[in-house]
Amino acid sequence: MKRTRIFAAACLAALMLSAASCNRGITDFHQKFDYAFIYFGDKIVVEGEVEKWWDYDSSDMVQVQIDGKVYLTHSANVLLVQK
C-alpha cells in the first residue's frame, strides 16, 4: 500500500513537471501557431514561420523563435497565426 502511494505521487509529480515546461495545459492541447508577426509601433519588424513560442503566467511577455532567433516582447506586439 505504501509503495503504491509513493508510485502514484511520483507519477503525479512527473506529470506536473512535464506539463509545467511547455505552453499547454493538461486539457489544453490546441495552442499551436505556425506564423507570427512581431510589431514595433505601427510597422511589422519581423514575420515568419514560428519554430517555438513561450508565454509566461505571471506576465504579458512572449518569446517567439523565428529562423533560429528568439524575440522577447509584450504580447500586444505579437500576432500569432494558426494556418
User: Per-residue pLDDT tens for 34-75?
Assistant: 999 999 888 888 999 999 998 887 889 999 999 999 999 999
Regarding whether 38 and 15 lie in a shared domain, the answer is: no
**Helix, strand, or coil (residue 69):** strand
What pLDDT does residue 23 have? 57
> What domain range includes position 64?
32-83
What pLDDT does residue 83 have? 81
Mean of pLDDT values over 12-23: 68
Question: How many domains is the chain built from?
Answer: 2
C-alpha cell at 7: 508510485
What pLDDT does residue 22 have? 58
Is residue 62 within 8 Å of 54, Cβ to Cβ?
yes
Regarding whether 53 and 23 lie in a shared domain, the answer is: no
